[in-house]
């Protein structure tokens, strides 16, 4: 990697202390977006656009390839390139058909380029401003079930949500060799969501015979859970399953 590219990737982006979440990013053809990454899954980037302050997901040809292959997890080489809190730049490509399962999506003809980062403190502050307020009876993405019928989704409904689950209520376990679950209490209700973050799944499989919670979970992850980014996964048998694409430190 050249010195100029390293310097570009080390550029520190500032986040306003009065960051007010927006509704939709400007997805006009040719518009440039700078996105703070909050999660990755099967070639798709999830984050917040610094200009509009809105949640976005970035779909590329790489994401389409993953979908064609059945949504398989990224290669280890891909995972190492991902960085929560990294700032990624993209140019909006030709518009794709509106997907009720991903209204925040923007299409990029080329993969986003990492051009910098925000500090850990700025990321924590940003997440605190973006998290969905917890209220009694609040449901993750409008449902207590693990999945929802695709036919019931509306383009106006969000497909991603950032929450701050109570750390003491979080439990991580490998339901099988292919499925890792995170259970937590939020809104006064116990809820279980499938985990897609590769590193977290690997940790759960390494402790297959144990339920990770409290201090054991913190030690295994290497940090205390502050936030969880939950999105709708790909459509399968006319349903979309809720998945955790990232756990972010407090």
Q: Check residue 81 and give its pLDDT.
A: 54
pLDDT for residue 42 is more than 90? no
- Pairwise CA distance, residues 14 & 126, whole Å: 11
- Quick check: is 167 in a domain? yes
Considering 62, 94, 118, which residue would you say is the last residue of a domain? 118
Token pair recorded at residue 223: 């940090």
* Domain-embedded: residue 126: no
Q: Give the 3-state secondary structure of residue 245.
A: strand
Q: What is the CATH number of the domain that holds 9?
A: 2.40.50.140
Per the prediction, the chain carries an average pLDDT of 83
More confident call, 109 vs 62 = 109
180 three-class SS: strand
- Domain housing 228: 131-249
Given 70, 89, 118, the domain boundary residue is: 118
89 to 104, 229, 243, 246: CA distances (angstroms)? 16, 20, 25, 20
If asked whether residues 135 and 217 sit together in one domain, one would say yes
Give the closest residue to 158 by CA, choosing from 243, 94, 66, 230. 230
Q: What pLDDT is attached to residue 200?
A: 95
What domain count does the chain have? 2
**Structure confidence at residue 127 as a pLDDT band (50, 70, 90):** very high
Higher-confidence position of 143 and 18: 143
**Chain center to CA of 109:** 21
Average pLDDT of the residues in 15-41 = 83
Q: Are residues 111 and 180 in the same domain?
A: no
Using one digit for the tens of pLDDT, what is the confidence trace for 218-241?
999 999 999 999 999 888 889 989
Half-sphere exposure of 64 (CA within 13 A, CB side): 11
Please give the pLDDT value at position 170: 96
The predicted structure's pLDDT at residue 62: 56
User: Is the domain of 66 the same as that of 27?
Assistant: yes
Q: How many angstroms separate the CA atoms of 103 and 240, rounded?
A: 14
pLDDT band at 75 (very low <50, low <70, confident <90, very high): very low
Q: What is the pLDDT of residues 132-186, one digit of tens each?
A: 988 888 888 888 888 889 888 888 888 999 999 988 999 999 988 889 999 999 8
Of the two residues 137 and 33, the one the predictor is more confident about is 33
Question: What's the pLDDT at 27?
Answer: 85
Same domain? For 102 and 150 the reply is no
């Amino acid at each position: 990697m050249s010195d100029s590219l390293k310097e570009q990737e080390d550029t520190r982006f500032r986040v306003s202390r009065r960051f007010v979440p927006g509704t939709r990013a400007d997805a006009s053809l040719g518009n440039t977006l700078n996105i703070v990454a909050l999660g990755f899954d099967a070639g798709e980037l999830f984050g917040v656009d610094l200009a509009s302050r809105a949640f976005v997901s970035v779909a590329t040809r790489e994401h389409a390839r993953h979908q064609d292959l059945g949504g398989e997890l990224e290669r280890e080489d891909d995972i190492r390139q991902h960085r929560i809190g990294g700032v990624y730049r993209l140019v909006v490509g030709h518009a794709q058909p509106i997907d009720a399962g991903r209204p925040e999506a923007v299409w990029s003809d080329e993969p986003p380029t990492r051009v910098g980062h925000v500090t850990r403190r700025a990321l924590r502050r940003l997440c605190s401003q973006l998290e969905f307020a917890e209220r009694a009876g609040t449901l993750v993405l409008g449902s207590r079930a693990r999945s929802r019928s695709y036919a019931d989704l509306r383009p106006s409904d969000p497909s991603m949500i950032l929450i701050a689950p109570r750390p003491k209520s979080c439990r991580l376990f490998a339901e099988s060799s292919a499925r890792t679950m995170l259970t937590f209490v939020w809104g006064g209700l116990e809820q279980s969501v499938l985990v897609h973050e590769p590193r977290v799944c690997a940790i759960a499989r390494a402790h297959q015979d144990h339920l990770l919670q409290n201090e054991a979970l913190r030690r295994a992850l290497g940090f205390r859970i502050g936030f969880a980014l939950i999105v709708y996964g790909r459509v399968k048998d006319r349903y979309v399953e809720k998945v955790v694409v990232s756990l972010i430190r407090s």
